Amino acid sequence: MSRLRQVRSGNSLAARALRSGGLTILGYGGSQALRLASNLILTRLLFPEAFGVMSLVWVFLQGLNNLSDMGVSQSILQSKRGEEQDFLNTAWTIQVIRGALLMLLTCALATPAAAFYDAPDLAQILPVVGVTLLVMGLFPTKHDLANRHLALGRVTAIDLIAQSIGLFVGVLVAWTTGSVWALVANAVTAVVLQLLLYQLFLPGASNRLRWEGTAARELIHFGKWIFLSTAAGFLLSQGDKIVLGKHLSLEALGVYNIGYFLASFPLLLGGMMVRRLLIPVYREKPPGESEAHRAALHKMRLLLSAGLFVLLSAAALLGVWLVEMLYDPRYALAGGVVVLLALMQIPQMVAITYDQAALAAGDSRGFFILTTIRAALMMGGLIWGAMQFGLIGALVGQGIAMGLAYPAVVWLARRHAAWDARHDATFWLAGLMLAGLAFWLHFDAIERLSALNLP
């Protein structure tokens, strides 16, 4: 017990990782609880089409964000100069310029996007929500330093406070107007508050505009591969909505989005923990240096994967019941979406920890290659599955694609001495058993998804 207290209270890497992992779970769990509360309230005050419109808004904003990401946060996390103010100010300047350009581009794309998706509301909504891209560009590098030091207490508190106030504003607007603008008000309020609270309450020096040539060259050299990787990553995270958004009605897309919200919780949590924890851990304890480092990473990887597998199992086995309990009958078909998406995320769960080893070693090129292979296979599986078998085929196609990408994952992991064959074999087997059980229990719910089929 005393040993555990020392680990929790100390300043070693293990202590900081343990505290940061706990805070990440607390923060993300709290964030998702607030999102669920918002979801449950707003689905009763609004109509399914509103959630379909907002899913298209986030596709565009995520696309613009990913297609311009220079990897500034990752650079701060892994660079030897990540503590120097000139480096940080140059990084912040790049982000500010990027945010301003993205906001202008959002305004320019609003009308064409509305015409492409036959959703007139997008012409007014996109420019307003696009302001959040400028605001996020102004986030201080104190936020990235907190991640670098695995000191996430204040960041977690700020994020939850901002999200809570955004939820309150969104519910108030929904109550008074019954309009999709409630979702817009929620998003904009939360991001603006994050900026203000980061500036006021995170420790460290404030940023100012600065362009140091050496720092800029390092950031751009590292970031050029991140830029290409996030462009591919956009397809990984939003490819389903790009394809389905064109072919499903806004009502059907809204139902799908509810299912995606519930099913994506485990993998999004895992991704956040990996990004926040593993770059510092890989940087300080490279697995290629010693057997002790590999053993420590094996334990951390097993713990993380076991937790994610439990959450995915809950979604796959209980998803239909959760939707029936939480939502009104308009969203009943989302239960099958939850089950199928949870199962299709198993290949990603198995491999979720490996790509950060490449980033921690500064190998953004290897990270780009893996992300591109995944994106190409995923889009191929999504489009082929949709053409052959409709919505069900599109979702299953994504899962098969991620399985086919596994050899590329192993290649990158072995390149950085991070591959853990015992871990992978364990969770591949467990995942196959879970898939068999879930299909047996919920085959009817999955089959009913044909009601949302592509025309």
Q: What is the pTM of this model?
A: 0.65
User: Long-range contact list for 284-293, CB < 8 A, 24+ apart?
Assistant: 284/13, 285/13, 286/360, 286/361, 286/416, 286/417, 287/357, 287/416, 287/417, 287/418, 288/416, 288/417
The reported pLDDT for the residue numbered 23 is 57
Q: Say which residue, 56 or 410, is predicted with more confidence.
A: 410
Among 90-99, 239-248, 356-365, 426-435, top mean pLDDT goes to 426-435
Task: Tell me the pLDDT band of 29, cut-offs 50, 70 and 90.
Answer: low
Task: Tell me the pLDDT band of 151, cut-offs 50, 70 and 90.
Answer: low
pLDDT at 211 over 70: yes
Residue-wise pLDDT for 64-76, tens only, equals 776 666 677 777 7
Q: What is the mean pLDDT of residues 236-249?
A: 73
Task: Tell me the pLDDT band of 21, cut-offs 50, 70 and 90.
Answer: low
CB of 180 closer than 8 Å to CB of 141: no
Residue-wise pLDDT for 123-133, tens only, equals 888 888 888 88
For residue 43, give the nearest of 356, 254, 319 by alpha carbon: 254
Q: Which tokens sit at 87?
A: 């480096």
pLDDT at 36 over 80: no
pLDDT at 426 over 80: yes
Task: Tell me the pLDDT band of 205, cut-offs 50, 70 and 90.
Answer: confident
For residue 411, give the nearest of 378, 361, 375, 367 by alpha carbon: 367
Collapsing DSSP to helix, strand or coil, 124 comes out as helix
Q: What is the mean pLDDT of residues 1-19?
A: 49
- Separation CA 142–CA 200 (nearest Å): 11
Residue 37 vs residues 34, 163, 167, 324, 430: alpha-carbon distances, Å: 5, 11, 9, 16, 32
Residue-wise pLDDT for 79-110, tens only, equals 778 788 899 999 899 889 988 988 898 888 88
Task: Give the mean pLDDT of the chain.
Answer: 81
DSSP 223-260: HHHHHHHHHHHHHHHHHHHHHHHHHS-HHHHHHHHHHH
Question: Angle, to 10 degrees, between the axis of helix 13-45 and the axis of helix 181-201?
Answer: 150
The reported pLDDT for the residue numbered 434 is 95
Q: Say which residue, 8 or 177, is predicted with more confidence.
A: 177
pLDDT at 199 over 60: yes
> For the ranges 103-117, 236-250, 398-412, which has the lowest average pLDDT?
236-250
- Separation CA 120–CA 28 (nearest Å): 33
The reported pLDDT for the residue numbered 11 is 54
Residues in the chain: 455
User: Long-range contact list for 236-239, CB < 8 A, 24+ apart?
Assistant: 236/371, 236/374, 236/375, 236/378, 237/62, 237/66, 238/58, 238/59, 238/62, 238/63, 239/375, 239/378, 239/379, 239/382, 239/398
CB of 321 closer than 8 Å to CB of 338: no
The reported pLDDT for the residue numbered 266 is 84
Task: Tell me the pLDDT band of 4, cut-offs 50, 70 and 90.
Answer: very low
Question: Angle, to 10 degrees, between the axis of helix 213-247 and the axis of helix 85-116?
Answer: 20
Q: Say which residue, 91 or 294, is predicted with more confidence.
A: 91
- φ, ψ of residue 230 to 5 degrees: the values are -70, -25
Q: Say which residue, 146 or 449, is predicted with more confidence.
A: 449
Q: What is the mean pLDDT of residues 166-174?
A: 87
CB atoms under 10 Å from CB of 63, counted, come to 18
The reported pLDDT for the residue numbered 290 is 74
Cα-based torsion angle of the residue sequence 144, 145, 148, 154 in order, rounded to the nearest 10 degrees: -90
Amino acid occupying residue 311? L
pLDDT at 198 over 80: yes
Q: Say which residue, 381 or 253, is predicted with more confidence.
A: 381
Q: Say which residue, 42 or 21, is predicted with more confidence.
A: 42
Residue-wise pLDDT for 224-234, tens only, equals 666 667 767 77
pLDDT at 155 over 70: yes
For residue 454, give the nearest of 395, 378, 379, 398 by alpha carbon: 395
Collapsing DSSP to helix, strand or coil, 122 comes out as helix
Percent of the residues in the chain that have a pLDDT greater than 70, as a whole number:
85
Cα-based torsion angle of the residue sequence 277, 238, 419, 73 in order, rounded to the nearest 10 degrees: -30
For residue 151, give the nearest of 274, 18, 28 by alpha carbon: 18
> For the ranges 19-28, 158-167, 212-221, 242-251, which has the lowest average pLDDT?
19-28
